[in-house]
Amino acid sequence: MDQKERLQAIIEEKRQAFITAADNIWGTPETRFATEKSVAQHYHILEQEGFALEKGVADMDYSYIATFGSGSPVIGILAEYDALGNLSQVADLPEKKPVEIGGNGHGCGHNLLGTGALAGAVAIKTLMEEENLKGTIKLFGCPAEESGYGKAFMARAGLFDSLDLALTWHPMDVTQAWGDSSLAVYQVYYEFHGTSAHAAAAPEQGRSALDAAELMNVGVQFLREHIIDEARVHYAFIDAGGESANVVQPTAKLYYFIRAPKLEQVEPIYQRINKIAEGAALMTETELTIDFDSACANYLPNPALTEAMHQNLKQVTPLELTAEEIAYEQKFFDTVPQVTKDTLYARAQNAFPTATEAELKEIATMPVNTKLFPYQITDKTAGSTDVGDVSWVVPTAQATIGCEVQGTPPHSWQWVATGKSSVAHKGMLMAGKMIAMTALDALLDPQLIEKAKAEHQQKLAGKTYQSPIPADVVPK
Ligand SMILES: [Zn+2]
């Protein structure tokens, strides 16, 4: 058995502990920074495995750094465990039905993500002990990936500065080393305060905060024509004043997400939106408070490390599914709309241009897509992730494991329903193996790290990471 086979065997030997932790986290879905029960599942394993544990880093109660070993290289592994609001869903049921109306749910598979990363850290630590390998492993427990951005606060606190590289993964409906970028984002609250008055008897005495919020949104609507195409600006009403239409609304609060491919492109849009908000306050004689919530940087994929992950994915794929598992997943695949299913053929064709029609049809109709997709380093973006901030500090790589129902998106009820299925577990363990194997590559091959660092410097082109989160903003 070679060292990489041994890593895989270690994860298989301890598989039940990881599965139990992931299922327990699924059962107590917690959002943003309030991940007390979820992180406890990680602590339980990390304490048993003998990691040095620093709890509550970067002003976040439920974050941690678990360390093993000493000296160079220093390899970071990133774990997440936060859930999403309003995504409660009965497990294993192929129809939308919440356990608790309005409750939280693991719609992004972070119960698997965090525990898979943890499995990777445990495996590489065990092998390092068995073979007396030199180096340091640091597993980061990162709350609030979905919104709030724990890693961005950790990056601001300099917690990734001592690393040589960072590795992570994400559950998805396709298996692929991740060569795309992500959007940088600022998240900001705009709160207006006016004066209430009888809306019919004394409207002249009222100053409407709701009017201010509406005027701000109209102003931003006009702004959209004068920003770069790739930017995205969206908002939610946190407070629309009240339910009484006969009152001039004295309060209103908006939550804005301002996104663009690069951090430096977000800042000028943010400044213009602030001016619009100030203008709305001026027009309505209301008071404006701007409350910066959080931010994260765009992701910089590292070619050398992403390639190393791809090579390791070749060794651990495909996910082997039983006939029973395929039948289970098929019931969920049946819920995917035809219009989405139609895109899966094109996706397969794009990835495998030389495949025959029959082969493409087979790939596009698998309830779980177990093919390893080729990857490309691109500037393509979709959502945002705080892995972006880590990628500015150190060379970073991540991969997706296709253990979700093909054609279903993140943040869907299907992801919650299948979040503790045996296929989800297999995907999680595969991710742990891939992370441990890539960590081993870095431990044994100083040239890989050198190459990754040279590429990282090239990508930064003289820039250094500046946290987009102002110094006075705390995680909340
Ligand atoms: Zn996610």
Query: pLDDT category, 42, cuts 50, 70, 90?
Result: very high
Cα(254) to ligand 1 centroid in Å equals 24
Cα(132) to ligand 1 centroid in Å equals 35
Average pLDDT, rounded, for the chain: 97
Reported as a single tens digit per residue, the pLDDT across 381-414 is 888 999 999 999 999 999 999 999 999 999 999 9
pLDDT score of 53 more than 90: yes
Our CA angle for 191, 210, 280, nearest 5°, is 70
Reported as a single tens digit per residue, the pLDDT across 278-337 is 999 999 999 999 999 999 999 999 999 999 999 999 999 999 999 999 999 999 999 999
Return the SS3 of 210. Answer: helix
Cβ neighbours of 310 (radius 10 Å): 21
Whole-angstrom Cα distance, residue 4 to residue 436?
8
> HEC string of 422-471?
HHHHHHHHHHHHHHHHHHHHHHHCHHHHHHHHHHHHHHHCCCCCCCCCCC
**What backbone phi and psi angles, to 5 degrees, belong to 397?**
-140, 150
Q: What is the rounded average pLDDT of the residues 12-21?
A: 98
Tell me what pLDDT residue 94 has.
98
Cα(170) to ligand 1 centroid in Å equals 7
Whole-angstrom Cα distance, residue 476 to residue 463?
29
Note residues around ion ligand 1 (Cβ under 5 angstroms).
108
Cα(468) to ligand 1 centroid in Å equals 21
Return the SS3 of 39. Answer: helix
Tell me what pLDDT residue 357 has.
97
Tell me what pLDDT residue 382 has.
80
CB within 8 A of 303, min separation 6: which ones?
A: 179, 377, 455
pLDDT score of 147 more than 90: no
pLDDT score of 17 more than 90: yes
Q: Are 156 and 63 in contact (CB under 8 A)?
A: no
Q: What is the rounded average pLDDT of the residues 338-366?
A: 97
What does the block give as tokens for 389? 């901030």
Cα(72) to ligand 1 centroid in Å equals 30
- Name the burial class of residue 246, with classes exposed (0-12), middle (13-18) and buried (19+) by CB atoms within 10 angstroms of its CB: exposed
Whole-angstrom Cα distance, residue 427 to residue 400?
9
Q: What is the rounded average pLDDT of the residues 449-466?
A: 96
Q: What is the rounded average pLDDT of the residues 47-76?
A: 98
Return the SS3 of 193. Answer: strand
Our measurement of the distance from residue 305's CA atom to the centroid of its chain's CA atoms, rounded to an integer in Å, reads: 19
Tell me what pLDDT residue 117 has.
98
Query: pLDDT category, 141, cuts 50, 70, 90?
Result: very high
Cβ neighbours of 350 (radius 10 Å): 11
Cα(110) to ligand 1 centroid in Å equals 6
Cα(258) to ligand 1 centroid in Å equals 19
Q: Is the peptide bond before 318 cis (omega within 30 degrees of 0)?
A: yes
Tell me what pLDDT residue 3 has.
98
Cα(52) to ligand 1 centroid in Å equals 27
Tell me what pLDDT residue 191 has.
98
pLDDT score of 379 more than 90: no
pLDDT score of 364 more than 90: yes
Tell me what pLDDT residue 468 has.
94
Our measurement of the distance from residue 319's CA atom to the centroid of its chain's CA atoms, rounded to an integer in Å, reads: 23
Tell me what pLDDT residue 216 has.
98
How far, in Å, are 201, 243, 248 from residue 204 at the CA level?
Answer: 9, 20, 10
Reported as a single tens digit per residue, the pLDDT across 156-195 is 999 999 999 999 999 999 999 999 999 999 999 999 999 9
Cα(80) to ligand 1 centroid in Å equals 8
Cα(60) to ligand 1 centroid in Å equals 19
Tell me what pLDDT residue 441 has.
98
Tell me what pLDDT residue 64 has.
98
Cα(104) to ligand 1 centroid in Å equals 14
Cα(358) to ligand 1 centroid in Å equals 33
pLDDT score of 8 more than 90: yes
Tell me what pLDDT residue 267 has.
97
Tell me what pLDDT residue 282 has.
98
Q: Is the peptide bond before 203 cis (omega within 30 degrees of 0)?
A: no
pLDDT score of 359 more than 90: yes
How far, in Å, are 131, 304, 320, 392, 405 from residue 334 at the CA level?
Answer: 48, 38, 21, 40, 10
**What backbone phi and psi angles, to 5 degrees, belong to 271?**
-60, -40
